Amino acid sequence: MSIEIIDLGTQDYQSVWQHMRDFTDTRTNKTNDQLWIVEHPSVFTLGQAGKPEHVLNPGDIPVIQTDRGGQVTYHGPGQLVIYLMVDLRRRKLGVRQLVNLIEQAIIKTLSDYNIESKTRPNAPGVYVDDAKIAALGLRVRKGCSYHGLSLNVDMDLEPFSRINPCGFPNLSVTQISELSTKKTFSEVSDHLTQRLIILMD
């Protein structure tokens, strides 16, 4: 079962979200799974469990209520976002299995950069010590996933201070550029997508 890699470049969140829903609604059992690589202009997104009070001071950054799982997070330039458009039934994957697979792909990618990371119980995502470096949020419709992961590569982390990331007050965040020799966005993107493909196959 082949997986197509689609590089969307930089695109606003709202249009990609609509594209995800359209793709999921119109796909058939013959549609190839896809990984969409994208970088978003600055935006806060509230997942289905998100509470408006976790957005402390958005300032001029837009806040969008979305249909993914999870709470509030920030997307911005220098952050790698990968959306997983995957037919879970065809791959015989449950949602929990997909979450574990994504987390392991991120952990293995970071390990290749000599960054030791881990998951935390009841708090999806990947952490370096107590600082969050990657967030996850998925939605499943018609047995197919959309939304996905975000990994902080080399970005301005200040906007995270304007929210309670993933609903946790005072949660620290970090990024690859602070923990490893400088990696380009495309290097990290290529590495992580290959890790995801290996684990899904």
- Give the mean pLDDT of the chain: 94
Residue with tokens 């799982």: 69
What is the total count of domains within the chain? 1
Mean pLDDT, residues 86-107 taken together: 96
What is the pLDDT, as a whole number, of residue 134? 98
Identify the burial level of 136 via C-beta atoms within 10 angstroms of its C-beta, where 0-12 means exposed, 13-18 middle and 19 or more buried.
Answer: buried
Mean pLDDT, residues 56-64 taken together: 94
What is the pLDDT, as a whole number, of residue 87? 97
| Residue ranges making up the domain that contains 26 | 3-200
Single pTM value for the model? 0.96
User: Is residue 166 flagged as an active site residue?
Assistant: yes
Contact assessment for residue 38 and residue 5, using Cβ atoms and an 8 Å cutoff: no
Q: Of 20, 43, 80, 166, which is the active-site residue?
A: 166
Mean pLDDT, residues 193-199 taken together: 96
How many C-beta neighbours within 10 Å does residue 53 have? 9
Quick: pLDDT tens for 104-159.
999 999 999 999 999 998 888 999 999 999 999 999 999 999 999 999 999 999 99
Give backbone dihedrals phi and psi of 53, rounded to 5 degrees, phi first: -70, -15
> 24-38, 70-84, 153-167: lowest mean pLDDT where?
153-167
Higher pLDDT, 5 or 164: 5
What is the pLDDT, as a whole number, of residue 89? 95
CATH code of residue 30: 3.30.930.10
- DSSP 8-state assignment for residue 162: G
Looking at residue 112, its amino acid is D
Higher pLDDT, 150 or 51: 150
Q: Checking phi first, is residue 54 left (phi over 0); if not, alpha (psi -120 to 50) or beta?
A: alpha
Reported as a pLDDT band with limits 50, 70 and 90, residue 42 is very high
CA distance 150 to 176: 12
